[in-house]
Structure 1
Amino acid sequence: MSAPYLSATGMRGGYGKADILNDCTITVDQGQIAVIVGPNGAGKSTAMKAVFGMLNLREGEVRLAGEDITALTPQQRVHKGMGFVPQTHNIFPNMTVEENLQMGAFIRKDDYSGTLAQVYELFPAVADKRRQNAGELSGGQRQQVAVGRALMTQPRLLMLDEPTAGVSPIVMDELFDRIIEIARTGISILMVEQNARQALEIADLGYVLVQGTNRYTDTGEALLANPEVRRTFLGG
């Protein structure tokens, strides 16, 4: 069997002297949707930051397409094929939608007009407002702009930290549909989500973290069917 596209193994690290992650392992195959869920304070976003190089690990390693990238900066990881959409402050509110997307192409030396067209096709509501300042958009539309900007770098791994935070259930379903579409193009997705039940419904692989440690790892379907997971983490 070939190695996973992303392999972050045995991660231990945190802030100051306190460890948030304790032997945490996250892997994602090409074109797979992997979802990290768990209670507040479980280390979900910390795990994402560690994978993206925003947190120095005391132990463990991160590999992308078989290459050890543990020592690389976030900027270097973007050049290697990672795209990261943080939960907040993920757009430039005083720039137009199109300018936001163009900022996403900052590492590109080629003609990115084809990618821009693909983003507009994926997010028609964003295309309709391309001349508007991104700060004037609804919460869901701003999230679409943020995801679109990350796609402009042509990532092979797209990381999303709470992409549906603060949006309506209808917008959440629409965002999840778009995430499925993105994965079908062969891009790997790693996502942290508070809406655990809905996220696991679209997940090929799910990780339940508790105190920075893998408590359960299984397919999304299997985790949804696990009575202990449902009772403890999904509200029954």
Structure 2
Amino acid sequence: MAEPFLIGEAMTGGYGGADILHGCTIAVEPGEIAVIVGPNGAGKSTAMKAVFGMLSLRAGAVRLKGEDITALTPQARVAKGMAFVPQTSNIFTTMTVEENLEMGAFLRRDDIRGTMDQVYTLFPILKEKRNQAAGELSGGQRQQVAVGRALMTQPSVLMLDEPTAGVSPIVMDELFDRIIEVARSGISILMVEQNARQALEIADKGYVLVQGGNRFTGTGQALLADPDVRKSFLGG
């Protein structure tokens, strides 16, 4: 079996106290949407942060394109093609939309205008509001700015922590549609999501975590159809 494009394998660790992750494995291929779901306190965001290098692992490894990146800082992982959008504090509220996007490209030394045009094509409302302070936007529009800023790094992997938290169902559907478009461009999507049923509907691959370990793994459709998953995690 060929190694996955990105894998956090048998990850064990936490934030310095007791371990939160216990042998957890998460992987994603190019152009694929992998979704991490599970109950509150299951370690979903911790697993994502571990893949991005935001906590030290006591055991396990993270590999990107076959290269062991376990010891790399998050900044070094960004340079390798990983982008992470946290759930909160993910935009500069006093800067304009366009300035936020420019900040996303701070590592680049080439012409960023083509990428900015792609972001504006993906999120037309941002082009319309490009000279407006990002803090004045609605919650859903702020999330679009955050995702757009991450895309300015031209990542091969886009990691999203609860991208639809606090937005209306209509905005959630729209965000998921845009996420599907990003994946179709060949970018790997790794996403933690509270709206498990809706997330699994768009997922190529799903991971159900419980107490920091893998409980169920399968395609999004297989997990949606699994009676145990439905009873325990999807409300029947």
TM-score class normalised by the smaller sequence: over 0.9
Equivalent position of 1:226 in the other structure: 226
How far off is 1:2 after superposition?
2.9
Moved more, 190-199 or 16-25: 16-25
Moved more, 131-140 or 15-24: 15-24
Counterpart of 1:17 in 2: which secondary structure?
coil
TM-superposition CA deviations, 1:204-225 (whole Å, max 9, x none) = 0000000000000000000000
1 CA distance for matches of 2:173 and 2:204? 17
Letter in 2 for 1:185: S
2 CA distance for matches of 1:44 and 1:65? 23
TM-score (norm 2): 0.99
TM-superposition CA deviations, 1:154-181 (whole Å, max 9, x none) = 0000000000000000000000000000
How far off is 1:3 after superposition?
1.8
1 CA distance for matches of 2:20 and 2:146? 27
TM-superposition CA deviations, 1:170-202 (whole Å, max 9, x none) = 000000000000000000000000000000000
2 CA distance for matches of 1:174 and 1:147? 13
How many residues align structurally?
A: 236
Is structure 2 residue 79 aligned with structure 1 residue 79?
yes
TM-superposition CA deviations, 1:27-58 (whole Å, max 9, x none) = 10111000000000000000011000001000
Letter in 2 for 1:143: Q
Q: Please, which runs of 5 or more residues in structure 2 have no aligned partner?
A: none
1 CA distance for matches of 2:235 and 2:193? 15
Structure 1 segment 121-200 matched on structure 2, within 5 A: 121-200=121-200
Query: What is the aligned-residue identity percentage?
Result: 78
Letter in 1 for 2:164: T
Structure 1 segment 45-124 matched on structure 2, within 5 A: 45-124=45-124
Letter in 2 for 1:77: R
Runs of 4+ in 1 over 6 A off after TM superposition: none
Letter in 2 for 1:100: N
Counterpart of 1:201 in 2: which secondary structure?
helix
Q: Please, which runs of 5 or more residues in structure 1 have no aligned partner?
A: none
Letter in 2 for 1:59: A
TM-score (norm 1): 0.99
1 CA distance for matches of 2:197 and 2:127? 30
2 CA distance for matches of 1:87 and 1:137? 16
Counterpart of 1:40 in 2: which secondary structure?
coil
Counterpart of 2:2 in 1: which secondary structure?
coil
